[in-house]
Amino acid sequence: MASTNRFEAIVVGSGVSGGLAAKELTEKGLRVLMLDRGRAVEHGEDYTYDGRPAYEVPARNEMPARLIESDYFISKHGYVSPSNMAFYNNDRINPYAYGEGSKFYWIRPAAVGGKSLIWSRWVFRWGPDDFAANKREGVDGDWPIRYEDLAPWYSYVERYIGVSGSRDNLPYLPDSDFQPPMPMNIAEKWFKQRLETQFPGRRLINARLANLTEDRPDQNRTKCQFRNQCANGCAFGAYFSTQAVTLPAARATGRLTLRSDAVVTSLDYDATKKRVTGVRFVDATTGQAEMVNADLVFLCASAMASTQILLNSRPAGSARSHFDSSGTLGRYVMDHIFRVRTSGDIPGMEDYIEYGRRPGAIYIPRFRNMNGDEGLGFTRGYGYQGGARREAAAPIGFGASMKHGMRRYGGWKFTMMAFGECLPYADNAVSLDPAKVDRFGMPLMRFDVRFRDNELRMIADARAQGEAMLRAVGMTNVSTLEEEHVPGDAIHEMGGARMGADPRASVLNKWSQAHDAANLFVTDGAQMASASCVNPSLTFMALTARAADHAVRQLRG
C-alpha cells in the first residue's frame, strides 16, 4: 500500500458538490487531490453522442431489452439510454442490497463529473420554512442553520454557475440571481392565466434551470442551443457541469490533481486527536490499494456513497464507525416521492409551434400547508414540474398519404409530474451488509427505506389536485398515471449523516463539519436534515461553498 502526503486537501467525488469544493479550495491556495470512482471524461472530447440524432445512435437510442433486464436495470425507469449509458453505473458489477420489505433504486453515475453530467438542472433555493419546519412541527432534527445563513452563499453559487429563471417574489420560494428565463410557450401562458384565475394563491412560473440563456465568455461557455440533449453532454457548456465549469477553474490554479477510477473505501482516523489522517482507496483498473494523507478531507461522493464510506470507516473488529458517536449515522434517509403524472390536451392555438426544444418548461410551486396544518391528513407539500408541447401527428394509412400526414403537427399537450417532500424517519436507514462485499472488498450498501403514510397521502392529493386543475382550466382528455413509488427513484436522495447543533443527535455541525473530526466536511446530500419538496442540488452547492470558506479559515488559524 502506497502512502503519500503531497496534498493539503482531498476531495472525494466530483459531482456538483465535489467539483465546487475542488474549485473553492484550490482557488483559496490549497493543493488538492480529487478522487472519483468513475472513469475519466473530458469536456467535449468524451461526449460521444453530443448533438447526434437518434438514427446515429445505436438502436435509435432505445435501450435493448436484454440490457434493461440485466446490466442497466435502472433504464426501466427512464434514465439510461444508449447515448448516455457510458455515464451510468453498471449495477451488475457494482451491486447493492436492500432489506426485506424495502426497496430502493440507487441511481449512480460512473464517470468523473458524477451526476453533474446527467442531472435535470432544476435549481431552486429552499425557502425559510424549509429550514424551520422540523422545529415548528416537532419533527426530529432541527436544522442548525436558517435561510438567512445560506442566502449569501446561494447568490455566490448562482452568479457563478448561471441560473435562468423569472423573478416571482414568492416568499416560500425565494428568487435566485437570475439570467433571463426561457420563455413560456403560448400554451403554457394560456394555462398560467387560467390556473391563477381559477385557483387564487396557486402560481405557474418559469422553470429555474442551471442552463445559460446568456453567454459566459469568461468561462468559455455558450448559451443554451435549445436542443434538449443535455444528458449526452454539452460541448457548448450551456448547462452547469463539473467538466464545463468547476474542473477547468480548479485546473487553472495549477493546484489540482485528479485521480479517476479511484474507489474510496474508508477514512483513517486518529481517535486521540479526533482527526481524519488518511483516505483509503482502490485503483479500479489495477486493483491496487492505496492511501493518501491530507490536512483536510471533503467527502462529496453523493449522499449514499458518502454514508457508505463513513459507515465503513471503523476500528478493526468493530461494527461502529469512528464518526457515529451519536448513533445517527445511516439514519434519516429521504428522497422525493413522485411518479404521479397528469396530462391533458389544450384546445386551439394550432397555428402556433415552438422554436427549438427547451430543456425545462414550467413549475407550479407548493400550495399545500403553507400556513400550518390545513387538516389534509398530511404535513408538508409538493410541487409540479411540467410543460406543454406539440408532437407530430399520428400517421394514418400507408405510403404517400402517411408521409404527408406526418408532416403535420398534432395538437397541444400538457404533462406535469408531482414531487413531494419525505419526512426524516430514524428507521429509514442504510447499513453495511454483514455478508456481502463488492469486487473491491467493500461491504455492500443495504437499504431499509420506504415511504410512509404521510408521503402516500400527500401524493394521492397531488394526483387529485393535478387532475382537478387541468380539468378546471378547460383541458380535454385529462388523465392521471400513478406508478410504483420507490425511494431513490427521484435521484434526490438525502440524509444519512445529517447536520445538527447537538453532537448526540447528529453527525455534522452547522458548517457541514463532522462532530467527531474537525478536519472532515461532508457537503453532499448526506448532510441534509429535511428534504423540502424542491430539487436539492443548489442547496448542496451553497452549503459546499460555505463549508469550504469556513474550512480554509480554520486551517489557517
Confidence of residue 542 (pLDDT cuts 50, 70, 90): very high
Q: Where in the sequence is the domain holding 105, given as residue range(s)?
A: 2-164+239-334+426-450+493-555
Q: Read off the pLDDT band of 5 (50, 70, 90).
A: low
The reply to whether 383 and 316 lie within a common domain is no
Q: Do 200 and 70 reside in the same domain of the chain? A: no
Longest dimension (CA), the chain: 81
Identify whether the C-beta of residue 351 lies closer than 8 Å to the C-beta of residue 510: no
Residues 505, 550 within the same domain? yes
Query: Are residues 126 and 158 both part of a single domain?
Result: yes
Does 188 fall in a domain? Answer: yes
What is the pLDDT at residue 445?
Answer: 96
Using a cut of 0.85, tell me whether the model's pTM lies above it: yes
Residues 53 and 177 in one domain: no
Domain boundary among 463, 486, 509: 486
Residues 274 and 377 grouped into a single domain: no
Determine the pLDDT at residue 73: 64
Average pLDDT, stretch 96-112?
Answer: 90
pLDDT at 2 over 80: no
Q: Report if residue 230 sits inside a domain.
A: no
- Contact call for residues 227 and 357 (beta carbons, < 8 A): yes
Q: Which residue is listed with cell 410541487? A: 383
Q: Look at residue 223 and tell me if it is in a domain.
A: no
312-352 residue pLDDT tens: 999 988 999 999 999 999 999 999 999 999 999 999 999 99
Q: Which residues, at least 6 apart from 332, have a Cβ–Cβ distance to it below 8 Å? A: 140, 141, 424, 425, 426, 428, 429, 495, 496, 498, 529
Domains in the chain: how many in total? 2
Mark whether 327 and 402 lie in a shared domain. no
- Percentage of residues in the chain having pLDDT higher than 90: 89
CA distance 386 to 188: 10
Residues 434 and 530 in one domain: yes
CA distance 495 to 305: 11
Residue 480 lies in a domain: yes
Which ranges constitute the DSSP H helices of 288-429? 303-311, 399-405
Q: Are 120 and 186 members of one domain?
A: no
